[in-house]
Homo-oligomer: A and B are copies of this chain.
């Protein structure tokens, strides 16, 4: 991957490691969530600012593949890339890496919704700008 891929560092908490000595599977989704927020923020769109403009996102689908377990103290970094852009939904790819190696990858589908509870919305330009062109 090119060096300009957005990367979010994660500090694994001791409590996130299970009896088998590796990060328990569900925590990766929490990491991806934080990485997504950081990705928006790095693109100039703090989450709160998105909501202030009347938009929020809803996670509707996730696929995760675990190849290797992250251990406490590992230098975990999550790469985030835009994989697909639809009318009301988009897909982000996540790659959880330790050093040069990919440990866990995931793909998450988000739907853009209105904050007033009226449901789906077309992705507005100011969000499209942050997501960029799919890789």
Interface size of A as a range? 20 to 34
Pairwise interchain contact A26-B33, C-beta atoms closer than 8 A: yes
Within the oligomer, what is the number of copies of this chain?
A: 4
A63: interface (CB < 8 Å): yes
Pairwise interchain contact B21-A48, C-beta atoms closer than 8 A: no
| A13–B13 CA distance with the chains assembled, in angstroms | 11
Give 24 pairs: A residue, B residue, CB < 8 Å, sorted on A.
A11-B11, A11-B34, A13-B30, A14-B24, A14-B33, A14-B34, A14-B37, A15-B18, A15-B30, A15-B33, A19-B19, A19-B21, A24-B33, A25-B29, A25-B59, A25-B62, A26-B30, A26-B33, A46-B73, A48-B73, A60-B66, A60-B67, A61-B63, A61-B64
